[in-house]
C-alpha cells in the first residue's frame, strides 16, 4: 500500500492548482454574483484537457487514469464548484458514457468536440416526477419508420441551455419497466427540443441548470447509445463515475475551507492575539483537516479500484456520501472561523457552503448512497419499489 502520489500525479495536481489559481479564482466572485455561466471558462477547461481527461487520446482525451482525473477535479472544485460541475458532467456523465457505450461513429462524431470544449453536452435523466426513482421515467421514445420520436420533460439538467448534445433517457416500452429504458444522443437543435433556465438557486449560481422539453423530437436509429434496455445500465455506469467526480470536487471544497481558515486565523487578531492561538479555533481547523483527509483517502480508494477495473459501486458511494457531507460541514465550520467576515463574499467560504449543499442531492442523494451501501452490505434492496438492475 502506497499513500504517496507519483511524481507524475504530483505534477498533474500542481498544474491543475496553478490553472485554478490563475484562470478560475479571479472570475468566481463576479460570475457568482451575476449568476453567469462562463462559457469562455468552459472552453479554457477544454483547451487544457480538463474536459475529457480519462477519455482515450484517440478520441481527443488525455488518456489519464482515474487518480489523475480526480486530482484535476479536486483542484477545479477548490476554486469553483460551478466550473467543477462542467468538468464532471462533460467528462464523467457525457463523454464517459459515449466512450463506454457508443459506436465508433458516435465516438468520432462527439468525443473530440466534447473533450476540446468546442461542444458541451448534458445528461438528461431526472424528470419533474422522477428523481431518486430513476428507473421510473415518463419520457417516451416511440418507434418510427426511420428511428424514434421522443416526448417528455427533463428537470434540473446541468448545462442544458448551452449544450449541443443531450443524453436523453427514455422509456421505449412501459411494460418492460427499467428493461425498456434506452439512452439517445439528441442534438439540441432538433425540432421540438427546447430548454428553459432555472433561476434562483441557493448555490452553483454560475452553473447552468435547465428544464428540457421534448415534443415529438425525431432522431435516427443511430442516435441510440447502446441497445434498447441498456438505458438504465448506461445511467448507472455514468453515475458511478459522476459520483467519483463529485466526491473529488468536494475534497477540493474541504481543502479550500482549510486553507482559507488557516490564513484568516493567522491574520485576524482578537484579545490581542491571532485567532489561531485559540484552542477552540484550532479545534474547528482540526475537524476540517480530519474530514478533508478522510474524504481524500476514500476518493483515492475508489479511484484505484476504478483504475484496476474492479467493482467499486459501494466504495464510490462511500466516497461520495462522506466527501459531500464533509464539504458541507467544513464550509459551515470555515464560516464560523471567519466570524461575520465569513458571511459575505469577500472570502470564498460562504460560497463554499452554498455550492457544497447541492452535492448531497445530485447524482444520488445522501439517502440513496446509504441505501446503495446498505444493499452491498446486506444483500437486501431497501430502495423498494426500485427494481433491481
Interaction site with ligand FAD (CB under 6 A): 89, 122-126, 131-132, 156-158, 204, 209, 358, 361-363, 365, 367-368, 371, 383
**Active-site residue, 329 included:** no
Phi-psi region of 117 (alpha: psi -120 to 50; beta: other; left: phi over 0): left
Please report how close the Cβ of residue 85 comes to ligand FAD at its closest, in angstroms.
Answer: 7
Question: Which candidate in 127, 363, 380, 388 is catalytic?
Answer: 363
38 neighbors 31 (Cβ within 8 angstroms): yes
Closer residue to ligand FAD, CB minimum distance, 19 or 123: 123
d(CA 299, CA 327): 13
281 neighbors 251 (Cβ within 8 angstroms): no
Closer residue to ligand FAD, CB minimum distance, 295 or 359: 359
Q: How many CB atoms lie within 10 A of CB 379?
A: 7
SS3 159: coil
Please report how close the Cβ of residue 40 comes to ligand FAD at its closest, in angstroms.
Answer: 21
Please report how close the Cβ of residue 235 comes to ligand FAD at its closest, in angstroms.
Answer: 8
Closer residue to ligand FAD, CB minimum distance, 12 or 204: 204
What cell does 177 get? 419497466
370 neighbors 321 (Cβ within 8 angstroms): yes
Please report how close the Cβ of residue 382 comes to ligand FAD at its closest, in angstroms.
Answer: 7
Dihedral sign of CA atoms 133, 99, 206, 344 in order? positive
Please report how close the Cβ of residue 13 comes to ligand FAD at its closest, in angstroms.
Answer: 26
Please report how close the Cβ of residue 362 comes to ligand FAD at its closest, in angstroms.
Answer: 4
81 neighbors 70 (Cβ within 8 angstroms): no
Closer residue to ligand FAD, CB minimum distance, 239 or 285: 239
d(CA 268, CA 212): 48
Residue nearest to ligand FAD (CB): 131
Closer residue to ligand FAD, CB minimum distance, 13 or 97: 97
Dihedral sign of CA atoms 251, 256, 259, 261 in order? negative
Active site residues: 363
Amino acid at each position: 500500500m502506497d499513500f504517496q502520489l507519483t511524481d507524475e500525479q504530483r505534477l498533474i495536481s500542481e498544474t491543475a492548482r496553478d490553472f485554478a489559481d490563475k484562470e478560475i479564482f479571479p472570475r468566481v466572485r463576479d460570475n457568482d454574483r451575476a449568476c453567469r455561466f462562463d462559457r469562455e471558462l468552459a472552453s479554457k477547461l477544454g483547451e487544457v484537457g480538463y474536459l475529457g481527461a480519462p477519455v482515450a487520446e484517440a478520441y481527443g482525451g488525455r488518456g489519464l487514469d482515474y487518480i489523475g482525473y480526480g486530482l484535476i477535479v479536486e483542484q477545479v472544485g477548490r476554486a469553483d464548484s460551478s466550473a467543477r460541475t462542467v468538468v464532471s458532467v462533460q467528462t464523467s456523465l457525457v463523454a464517459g458514457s459515449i466512450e463506454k457505450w457508443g459506436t465508433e461513429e458516435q465516438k468520432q462524431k462527439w468525443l473530440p468536440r466534447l473533450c476540446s470544449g468546442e461542444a458541451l453536452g448534458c445528461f438528461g435523466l431526472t424528470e419533474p416526477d422522477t428523481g431518486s426513482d430513476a428507473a421510473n421515467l415518463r419520457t417516451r421514445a416511440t418507434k418510427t419508420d426511420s428511428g424514434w420520436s421522443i416526448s417528455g420533460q427533463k428537470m434540473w439538467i446541468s448545462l442544458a441551455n448551452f449544450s449541443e448534445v443531450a443524453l436523453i433517457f427514455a422509456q421505449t416500452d412501459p411494460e418492460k419497466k427499467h428493461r425498456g429504458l434506452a439512452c439517445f444522443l439528441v442534438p439540441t437543435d432538433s425540432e421540438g427540443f427546447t430548454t428553459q433556465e432555472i433561476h434562483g438557486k441557493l448555490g452553483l449560481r454560475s452553473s447552468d441548470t435547465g428544464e428540457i422539453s421534448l415534443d415529438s423530437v425525431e432522431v435516427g436509429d443511430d442516435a441510440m447509445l447502446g441497445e434498447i434496455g441498456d438505458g438504465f445500465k448506461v445511467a448507472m455506469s455514468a453515475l458511478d463515475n459522476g459520483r467519483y467526480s463529485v466526491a473529488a470536487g468536494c475534497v477540493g471544497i474541504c481543502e479550500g475551507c482549510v486553507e482559507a481558515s488557516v490564513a484568516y486565523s493567522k491574520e485576524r487578531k482578537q484579545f490581542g492575539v491571532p485567532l489561531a492561538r485559540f484552542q477552540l479555533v484550532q479545534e474547528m481547523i482540526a475537524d476540517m483537516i480530519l474530514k478533508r483527509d478522510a474524504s481524500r483517502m476514500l476518493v483515492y480508494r475508489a479511484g484505484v479500484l476504478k483504475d484496476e477495473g474492479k467493482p467499486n459501486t459501494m466504495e464510490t458511494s462511500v466516497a461520495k456520501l462522506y466527501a459531500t457531507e464533509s464539504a458541507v460541514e467544513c464550509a459551515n465550520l470555515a464560516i464560523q472561523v471567519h466570524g461575520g467576515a465569513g458571511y459575505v463574499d469577500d472570502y470564498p467560504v460562504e460560497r463554499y457552503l452554498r455550492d457544497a449543499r447541492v452535492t448531497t442531492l445530485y447524482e444520488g442523494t445522501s439517502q440513496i448512497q446509504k441505501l446503495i451501501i446498505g444493499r452491498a452490505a446486506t444483500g437486501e434492496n431497501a430502495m423498494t419499489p426500485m427494481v433491481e438492475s
